[in-house]
């Protein structure tokens, strides 16, 4: 099966080359969609270099102004051609070494969607940002109450989908509210009368702090709460 890897990018000049090399090294028939969301730190110059290298597996898509992660994912999803679609952040917090575990439930025909959980154990995890952890767990709990799922990590970057799921995801959130929005819509999704099959697998997590460039903040937490309510109660 062909794997489409969507990488939303915003001001990641220090990590872009490294994560791209790691993704390219994975042993899959794949396409890599680099969606730059209006970067201003020199990332675009690196993307021009990548385009000039003319690797047929890589496609660069540019937003002229910054719109948010949700908007970048929406653009990426609209351009995928693979059988399986995987979201990869560009900041090295998540490692492509976890791709085999993420893809196995899909390859085995057991899952329609797989979430990579930072809270199920598994590989190495950086220990820091306690309150960020608490907020993540609280948002996941509230989301679960609304969706009747038992996820441990709704806010994870690593979400992998069968292409048919992506085709039915009409993303409306422009920013980080995209995570609870996708979860709410997947929880309601049905194929041939059956609920979408959602699995979780443990992953490693090499988290950054804010001095190292982490972008999600308090405002995004409140937006996520609103999106949980909006997309579970209002559709």
Cβ atoms of 6 and 80 closer than 8 Å: yes
Distance of CA 12 to the CA centre of its chain: 16
Map out the domains of the chain as residue ranges. 3-233
146-194: pLDDT as tens digits: 999 999 999 999 999 999 999 999 999 988 899 999 999 999 999 989 9
* Nearest alpha-carbon partner for 222 in 161, 176, 183, 153: 176
Is CATH 3.40.1350.10 the classification given to domain 3-233?
no
Measured CA to CA, the distance from residue 57 to residue 29 in angstroms comes to 9
- The answer to whether residues 154 and 162 touch, using CB atoms and an 8 Å cutoff, is no
Asked if residue 208 has pLDDT above 70, the reply is no
Residues 61, 173: contact at Cβ < 8 Å? no
pLDDT at 212: 56
pLDDT score of 220? 75
Q: pLDDT of 23-73, one tens digit each?
A: 999 999 999 999 999 999 999 999 999 999 999 999 999 999 999 999 999
What is the pTM (predicted TM-score) of this model?
0.94
Q: What does residue 129 show for φ and ψ, rounded to 5 degrees?
A: 55, 60
Query: At a CB cut-off of 8 Å and minimum separation 6, what does 128 contact?
Result: 207, 209
């Amino acid at each position: 099966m062909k794997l489409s890897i969507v990488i939303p990018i915003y001001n990641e000049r220090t990590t872009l080359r490294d994560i791209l090399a790691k993704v390219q090294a994975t042993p899959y028939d794949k396409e890599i969609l680099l969606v730059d969301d209006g970067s201003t730190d020199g990332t675009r110059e690196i993307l021009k270099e990548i385009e000039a290298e003319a690797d047929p597996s890589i496609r660069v898509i540019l937003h002229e102004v910054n719109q948010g992660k949700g908007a970048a994912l929406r653009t990426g999803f609209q351009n995928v051609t693979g059988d399986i679609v995987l979201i990869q952040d560009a900041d090295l917090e998540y490692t492509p070494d976890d791709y085999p575990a993420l893809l196995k439930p899909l390859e085995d025909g057991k899952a329609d969607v797989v979430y990579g959980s930072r809270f199920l154990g598994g590989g190495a995890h950086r220990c820091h940002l306690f309150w960020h952890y608490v907020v993540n767990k609280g948002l996941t709990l509230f989301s679960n109450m609304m969706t009747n799922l038992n996820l441990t990590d709704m806010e994870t970057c690593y979400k992998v989908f069968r292409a048919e799921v992506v085709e039915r995801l009409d993303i409306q959130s422009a920013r980080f509210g995209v995570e609870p929005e996708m979860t709410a819509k997947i929880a309601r999704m049905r194929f041939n009368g059956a609920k979408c099959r959602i699995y979780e697998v443990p992953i490693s997590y090499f988290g950054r702090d804010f001095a190292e460039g982490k972008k999600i903040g308090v405002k995004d937490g409140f937006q996520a709460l609103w999106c949980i309510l909006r997309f579970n109660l209002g559709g």
